[in-house]
Chain A
Amino acid sequence: MPDWEKLSTARVIPLARPRKLAKVPFAELADGRLQGVVSSGSDIERVYVSSVAASTYTFACSTNNNRPCGGARGSFCNHILALVNEAVLQYGAERVARYLRVELGGEEPSAPSITRGMSVTRPAQGDTALAAPVFSRFLRHLAYLELAPVTAPVPEMQWFPPTRAEA
């Protein structure tokens, strides 16, 4: 086997897995948090911006217009639970648990065990100041759909072969 550290095409990021986006159009492990956007079940114009910090599990949830989420009082709301579920689908439970540094107490990594592992520490509720930057990352993400394909070659893509190995 070739030495992984000497491979130009070493695979660093595993294959993202497909998931339905209707409920949680955006979920990412970034800036030391699991963060994302959850569509409101009742109002098509409204989305919730939810996040959980790695290690401390400090959580926040509010609308994109900065109204606090009624469900996130003292414990995780349903938006955060949905966010954890979808992140596990997209990235795999192992990667989510590792990123958030969740103590699973010997359980297999899964959305319920990750949620439990965080909830039992009685995490603090953070302020909603994060909503704006996370929402703008979501908008930046959506803006990728508006970029047109080009037919001039991008030789740099030779460094990014696909992989069949899932997270």
Chain B
Amino acid sequence: MRADLLAETIDGIDEALAAVDAFDQVLTAGLLRPQPAQAAGLARLAGAVTGTPLAARVAEAAEKAAAGVASEDHLVALAAARTALLGSVHDALMTQVTEATGRPGGGDYPASEQAGQGTSARQAANVLAAARSWLSDLARGGWRGLDTGVVSESAPVVSAMLAEPALRRLATLLDGFAAELAASCPGATLERVPARRWADLWSRGMLLTVPGAAGAPATGTVTGRLLPLGIDLTEHPTAAQAQVHAVLEPADGGGPRLVRATVSVPKPDTVIGAGVWQLLRPRMSLLAAVSQGRSMDLADMPVTAEGDLIWSDEHARLGEPAAPFAAARVALPTATAMATAPLDRHPARIAVPVFLEGYAARQDDDALVFTVTGRPLAVDTDRIPVAGPLTPEAVAASGACIGLLRWDAGSFSVQPLAVETTVKKKAVAVQAGGWAGGTTDAAGVKAEKAATDATSVLRERAGRLLRK
């Protein structure tokens, strides 16, 4: 990868982000009694989408919001404008990333898929409306006006949505968002406000309340050999997701493709560490394959236009041993990336598999930095899951790394998924998600045992106390 190409400044990004920041300050103060500063922030957002199909609706929404009389539809329009701006930032960054990786780009997302299908049940419409109403209340009060009353109103909405798998995306988002807000009450005394982050979560939540927005339908099936590169674990107190990044070699002889396979689950907040793998493991045999260093053979596995496999164990069987570093060296360089769905275009969604070697690693204050093709690239070691064999120390001592290229707050970084390091003069590979499918490592076994104990206590309590 050519990290030097990532250092070039992109025209227009600063201006787009300045408009986003202006709106984020509006949400920090709230829309109940807008002051001139907020009217200016709203006007700046509206000005940034002038000349786009959103212009008229956003201009009206900004005007109403500045007068303190925004309806929920107006708030959705503002969220859409902010999302569109960040979508343009995403696209500009991805052009740069594609040049830096030198791999074939994903091209355009198929137009026919742009209108998501998703769930359209009437009952879903009610709960989506309730979610929008809660998010609108948040916007009126602002982050500075947060109190436990408004935050706790999300609980019945989230509970109703969690029961419906088709609404899992919005439910998971709001559940994690509400937990953060609850931990930050009262907003008036917060030392600092994560303004970009909360406005991201708010905007995304708002758009997902539009029926059909969360649909990501399978558009076909794939057959071939799946070579895992590594696992990206994400989690908040009451949910976790494991996403396996992999190269698919199609059986029909087509070129290799980058794909992802994902499993997610809601969880009690006391199930952590290895307990998360225990909840995810039974639903996706691929996690065990990753831990064992094996490929998988897929037959007619459903796939979306974004390259997301909709995993089902009956379409997969365990294949030959396949080292992730062999896949990264041989198959990854020519693998075609998939396009990103329109609503998912956001810089925080950028997670591009890269293979790095020949870098120099150095500890810079608190952060680890790789020097790649003469350029510094920050290493996000905080993303390495605790329940795994990979450590920041192993990354610092590594000679090769499979990672995900990411971007946040103006800079690129790499999230390590696996590293090659030398132990007793032998090269060994250590994966962040190495314990996903189970482990015989002593520390891993201990973590598994503690997690099993915690989950069995909760299951025992649930069996005795639930539905009484």
Q: Do A and B bind each other?
A: yes
Query: Which residue of B194, B266, B284, B344 is within 8 Å of A144 (Cβ)?
Result: B266
A145 adjacent to B459 (CB under 8 Å):
yes
Interface string of B13-42 (1 = CB under 8 A from A): 000010001000000000000000000000
Interface string of B235-254 (1 = CB under 8 A from A): 11111110100000000000
A64 interface residue per 8 A CB criterion:
yes
A–B pairs, 26, beta carbons within 8 Å: A5-B192, A7-B194, A7-B197, A8-B200, A9-B408, A22-B457, A30-B152, A31-B148, A45-B464, A139-B466, A144-B162, A145-B459, A145-B462, A147-B162, A148-B265, A148-B283, A149-B282, A151-B261, A151-B263, A152-B310, A154-B264, A157-B239, A158-B348, A159-B201, A162-B382, A164-B384
Interface string of A25-40 (1 = CB under 8 A from B): 1101111100000010
B312 interface residue per 8 A CB criterion:
yes
A3 interface residue per 8 A CB criterion:
yes
Query: Which residue of A2, A139, A154, A163 is within 8 Å of B168 (Cβ)?
Result: A154
A142 interface residue per 8 A CB criterion:
yes
A150 adjacent to B182 (CB under 8 Å):
no
B458 adjacent to A21 (CB under 8 Å):
yes
Number of B residues with CB within 8 Å of any CB on chain A? 101
A13 interface residue per 8 A CB criterion:
yes
A151 adjacent to B284 (CB under 8 Å):
yes
State whether A151 and B348 are in contact (beta carbons under 8 Å apart), knowing that A2-B409, A157-B172 are contacts in the complex. Answer: no
A74 interface residue per 8 A CB criterion:
no
A47 interface residue per 8 A CB criterion:
yes
Chain A interface mostly helix, strand, loop or mixed? loop
A13 adjacent to B180 (CB under 8 Å):
yes
**B268 CB to nearest A CB, Å:** 5
Chain B minimum-CB-distance residue to A32: B148
Interface string of B367-384 (1 = CB under 8 A from A): 100000000000011111
12 additional A-B residue pairs with CB within 8 Å, beyond A15-B386, A150-B283: A10-B197, A13-B183, A15-B272, A18-B272, A90-B270, A142-B462, A145-B455, A147-B265, A149-B263, A149-B264, A154-B172, A164-B381
B234 adjacent to A162 (CB under 8 Å):
yes
**B84 CB to nearest A CB, Å:** 16
A107 interface residue per 8 A CB criterion:
no
- Which among A19, A28, A161 has the highest number of chain B CB atoms within 10 Å? A161
Query: Which residue of A2, A5, A90, A142 is within 8 Å of B458 (Cβ)?
Result: A142
A120 interface residue per 8 A CB criterion:
no
Residue numbers in A under 8 Å from B235 (CB-CB): 157, 160, 162
A155 interface residue per 8 A CB criterion:
yes
B115 interface residue per 8 A CB criterion:
no
Residue numbers in A under 8 Å from B344 (CB-CB): 155
B139 interface residue per 8 A CB criterion:
no
Nearest first, the 8 closest Cβ-Cβ pairs linking A and B are A2-B409, A149-B265, A149-B283, A8-B348, A151-B311, A157-B234, A156-B173, A142-B462
**A141 CB to nearest B CB, Å:** 5
- Which among A12, A44, A144 has the highest number of chain B CB atoms within 10 Å? A144
Residue numbers in B under 8 Å from A20 (CB-CB): 453-454, 457
Residue numbers in B under 8 Å from A25 (CB-CB): 270, 457-458, 461
Residue numbers in B under 8 Å from A138 (CB-CB): 465
B268 adjacent to A144 (CB under 8 Å):
yes
Give chain A's interface residue range (CB within 8 Å of chain B): 35 or more
Residue numbers in A under 8 Å from B261 (CB-CB): 151
A2 adjacent to B262 (CB under 8 Å):
no
Query: Which residue of B17, B201, B279 is within 8 Å of A149 (Cβ)?
Result: B279
B183 adjacent to A12 (CB under 8 Å):
yes
State whether A11 and B347 are in contact (beta carbons under 8 Å apart), knowing that A143-B466, A159-B200 are contacts in the complex. Answer: no
Q: How far is the CA of A1 from the CA of B367 in the complex (A)?
A: 9
Query: Which residue of B179, B273, B282, B304 is within 8 Å of A13 (Cβ)?
Result: B179
Residue numbers in A under 8 Å from B208 (CB-CB): 156
Q: How far is the CA of A160 from the CA of B351 in the complex (A)?
A: 13
Residue numbers in A under 8 Å from B196 (CB-CB): 5-8, 10
B224 interface residue per 8 A CB criterion:
no
Q: How far is the CA of A146 from the CA of B162 in the complex (A)?
A: 11
Q: How far is the CA of A82 from the CA of B264 in the complex (A)?
A: 33
A12 adjacent to B462 (CB under 8 Å):
no
Q: How far is the CA of A90 from the CA of B235 in the complex (A)?
A: 17
Q: How far is the CA of A9 from the CA of B407 in the complex (A)?
A: 10
B237 adjacent to A13 (CB under 8 Å):
yes
- Within 390-432 of B, Cβ neighbours of A (below 8 Å) are at 392, 408-411, 415
State whether A152 and B273 are in contact (beta carbons under 8 Å apart), knowing that A12-B184, A164-B386 are contacts in the complex. Answer: no
